[in-house]
Structure formats: C-alpha cells, structure tokens
Structure 1
Amino acid sequence: MSLLLTHTRYQFLETARVPISVIGNGFFPAASMLFFVVPFAGGDPVGAAMATASMMVFAMMTSGLFTHGTGVANDREQPWDPYVRTLPAGPWPRLGGRVLNALAFALIGVLPVLVISALFTEATATPAQLVLGLGALLVAAAPFQLLGLFIGYTLPFKAALAVVQLVFLPLAVGGGLMTSPQHPPAFIAAVAPYLPTRGAVELVWAAVGYGPPRTLPLVMFAVWTAAAGALAVWAYRRDEGRRFA
C-alpha cells in the first residue's frame, strides 16, 4: 500500500506540474456543458440532470484515454520508466498509481461540469444522489482506463496520440454523450447500446435516480471492460518481454 501511494503521489505531482494537462482535462467537458447542455437542456430539470451525468462520463473517459493512452506511451520513451520497471516492487504499484492518478484528475475534471450545472441549469440532486453518482462514475471509468493502458503500452507516443483521438470521438458521439439523453437521433439510439459509453452513462443515470440501466448496455459494458482488461495485460507483458527479455 505504501508503494502504491508513493507511485500515485509521484505521478500526480508529475502531471500537476504541467498546468495545461490539468486545464485540458476539464476544458472539453465544461465547454460541452456551456455550448450544448445549457442552451438546449438547461431549463429542463430532468434533461439537464441526465446531460450533466453524460458530461461527467465524458470527463472520465477523457481522463482515462488521454492520461493512459498518451501518458504511458510518452513515459515508455523516457529513460526513467525502464529503470522503474526493473525495480523489485513489481508492476502493480506502478499500474495502480497510474489508475488512481487518472481517477483523481478525472474527478478534478468533473468539478467544472458540476459547477456549471448548478449555476446555469435547472438540474438538481440530493447529496446522496451526488455521492452515488460519483461512485457509479468510478465504476464507469473501468473500460476507458483499460483501453488507455492498452494503447499506451502498444504504440509509440505520436501514434498513441492519433489513435486516442480516433477512438475518443466515436465512443463519445456514438454512445450518446453529445446528443439529447431522452431523444437521441435514430442512428445513435441503434448504435449506442453496443458501446461502453452507453453502459457507463446508464450506470450514472441510475445512480442519480433516472431509471434502471438496460440489460444490453450493461452486458456490452462488461464485455468491453473484460476485453480491454485482457488487451491491457497482453500489451503490458508484450512490452515488458520486448524491452527486458
């Protein structure tokens, strides 16, 4: 546990020393709230609350994919990372630190979304719903954390940056995060249940009191999580085998 906390603290400070990383983490979800949610759903308590939950998942997905996808790829090109991986502590404190660091910055990225929602929309939530929603958000982060690790341990930095951007937008739009939660376009309604973003956002909607999640999105969320986890483990072992064998 002490090693895990040490790695988490080190990685948090390392990320925080680059201010644009912190700003960028919350900018896109906050901008999406201002440009899409406030004008079109701000006056509807239900629509605004569900859209706020969607933007919270958007922030969590951004952190998982970019923090791991580009961060891990960049670290692999630096001399410090191979040295750390030769230490006798094993991989889990390092990987656990990465995950906790990404979750911490994801929660930081969620704060502007909540502030904008509270100030400029009719969305409401009780303290209990807010706590449950944040808990569901941590669960919803799993496939995006794992996908980010898979990309980061598989590709060099420049390729990882491009792939993360290519993966990020289809998951966000296809999963219905950028459209009306209650009345999505027909194509999005047909595609969304098969993407992890839909299962993730339905978990958060359920936690804040807007209906139980449907079976298909939950099943596909579990499938994506399991597949991404298997790919992340494979990518880590492949990278370790190539570099340290």
Structure 2
Amino acid sequence: MTTLTPTLTTTPRRAPTLPLLGQLVLAELRRMIRNPMFAMGTLGFPLIFFALFGLPNVHEKTDAGVSVGQYLLVSFGTYSLLSLAMFSFGAAVAAERTGGWLRLMRAAPLPAPLYLTGKVVAALCFSAVSLTALYLFGHVAGGVTFPLGEGLRIAGELLLGMIPLIALGLCIGFLATPTSASVVAQIISVLMSFGSGLFMPLDQLPKVVQNLAPYLPSYHLGQLGWTAVEGQGGSAVHWAWLAGYTVVLGLLAAWAYRRDEARGQ
C-alpha cells in the first residue's frame, strides 16, 4: 500500500514595504551625514553664502517693497536643494553603480522603485533640515523671519518643486562615471545657480543669460518662492514647467537605468 505524503510548498515571504522603506531612508540619511563634504556643500555653503552676501543687505527693500532678507533666504534655500539633488543623486548614484552596490541591490529581492523611493524620501528629509537650518540662521543672525503659515508653504513648495532636480540628478548618476559625475554635477549646479538668478538678480546678468533663465528648472523653482514672498500670483506657470521637466527628465532617467541594468553594471 502506497501512502502519498503531501508536499508542502512555501511561498517566499516579502518584508513589509513600509518598514523596509524606513530602513532604506535611514541608511541613506546615515550615508549623507557621514560624508563631511556632502554635508558641508548642502548645509554649510548656503549658510556661508547667506552670511557673506545676505546679512549685509537683510534690512533693505526691493523696488517692490519686499524684504531683501526674505528674498535671499529663498534664493540660497533653492541653491541648497539644487546642490543636494545634483550630488545625492548624481555623484552618489554613479559611485553606487560602478562600486557594485546597485548590482547587489538588483540581486536582492528589492524592487528598484522602492530603492529609488528611499533615496527620494531621504533627500527630501535632508532638504527640510537644510532649509530649517538656513531659516534659523537668517532669523538669529539677521532677524529675517516669515509668518509661520507663509514659511511652511514656501518650504513645502520648494521641496515639492525639487522633484525635477532629483530626476536630473538621476540622469547624471546613471549616464556618467563616478569621476565625471562629480564634475558634471558641480558644473551644472554652479551654472544653473547663476543662470537662474540665485546668486545675483537676473536684471544684472548678461542679456543672453536672462533669455535662457526661463528654460532652467531651478529658475522656476526659485520663482515659486520669490512670487510667494512678493505676494504675486502666476505660480501655475512655474508648476507647469516643473511638471514638464519631471516627466521628460524622469523618462530619461528611467531609460538610463534600464540601459545600465541591461549592461549588467
């Protein structure tokens, strides 16, 4: 008599998504904090620039009667977000590609969207810290302040509008080598900062720069904060530009990721 023994089949269990995402975010934040050059570039430089160029002029008014201090806080806050996007997603991703980390992540049962989501959430958290540090420095050292509701709204808009800059950083990270990615990220960060009027008012820059500025995502990100400070409308136009950049750069980043995956990097 033959006895049939039932065969037990087990289905691989996947870790819960939210705890796993939390671990990825914490790991990414630790990486940022432990890199002194990265922390200095995204936290220290905006404070230094504001101290050098902002504090002497914080009590002045623009032609529209707007506080120069508030205007400059938005400018250097936008610069800090631009720098973080270029280096956290440009240079860092390129290093992870060639260092074998992405190859290891692909071999693990970890969805690529979750890995990228963790980096984005960590970048937004670090960006919020950077904006808070800049605001506290401006408030304590220069007496620059925003009403609570207005300050939170401007910070929220800047963080949300940072998404296309993150997509641009991913394009650099998946298309460039680690050495060239750092150089490219630095060049793009500086050119876009000056070209968008973050360091100097656009009307004081050459005409060719003024004509090119509206085609830069960092220009529209800065405009979101500046128009809020000035109490003007028209932000829908800038949101439309940023949304378009997000789609185009996001598709380019996705293509670059798939190309890199096919190469087995």
Fold match (TM-score > 0.5): yes
> C-alpha displacement at 1:16, in angstroms?
2.0
Deviations 1:180-236 (A, max 9, x none): 37x544624433222111211122234455312366544433332222111111111
Q: Which residue of 1 aligns with 2:41?
A: 24
The answer as to 2:233 corresponding to 1:212 is: yes
Give the whole-Å Cα distance in 2 for the aligned partners of 1:85 and 1:12. 21
1:160 aligned residue: 181
TM-score between the two structures when normalised by the length of structure 1: 0.89
Shift of 1:18: 2.6
Q: Deviations over 1:112-152 (max 9, x none)?
A: 32123213435331111111111101112111111111110
1:39 paired with 2:60, answer no
- Written as runs of structure 1 = structure 2, the 5 A alignment for 1:32-71 is 32-44=49-61, 46-71=67-92
Mapped to 1, the partners of 2:59 and 2:178 lie a distance apart of 39
Alpha-carbon separation, structure 2, partners of 1:12 and 1:32: 24
- After superposition, the Cα gap between the structure-2 partners of 1:55 and 1:42, relative to the gap in structure 1 and judged at 3 Å, is farther
Q: Check 1:80–1:186 CA distance in 2 against 1; reply closer, same or farther (3 A cut).
A: closer
Q: Which runs of 5+ in 2 are unaligned?
A: 1-17
Residue type of the alignment partner of 1:19: P
Alpha carbons 2:42, 2:83 under 8 Å: kept:
yes
Aligned equivalents of 2:81, 2:94: Cα separation in 1: 19
Question: Which of 1 and 2 has greater Rg?
Answer: 2
- Name whichever of 125-134 and 109-118 sits farther off: 109-118
Aligned partner (choices 24, 47, 63) of residue 7 of structure 1: 24
Separation in structure 1 between the aligned mates of residue 20 and residue 228 of structure 2, nearest angstrom: 33
Q: Among residues 238, 246, 250, which one is paired with 1:225 in the alignment?
A: 246
RMSD: 2.2
SS in 2 for 1:68: helix
For the structure 1 residues 184 and 214, does the alpha-carbon distance in structure 2 shift closer, same or farther, using more than 3 Å as the test?
farther
User: Would you say the 8 A contact 1:193–1:220 is kept in 2?
Assistant: no
Q: How does 1:165-176 map to 2 (within 5 A)?
A: 165-176=186-197
Q: Which amino acid aligns with 1:144?
A: L
Question: How much has 1:88 moved relative to structure 2?
Answer: 2.1
Task: Pick from 60, 78, 82 the counterpart of residue 99 of structure 2.
Answer: 78
The answer to whether structure 1 residue 107 and structure 2 residue 164 are counterparts is: no
**Aligned residue identity for 1:11:** E
Q: What residue number does 2:116 align with?
A: 95
Name the aligned partner's letter for residue 47 of structure 1: V
> Corresponding residue for 1:145?
166
Q: Where does structure 1 lack aligned partners over 5 or more consecutive residues?
A: none
Identity among equivalent pairs (%): 26
Q: TM-score, normalised by structure 2?
A: 0.83
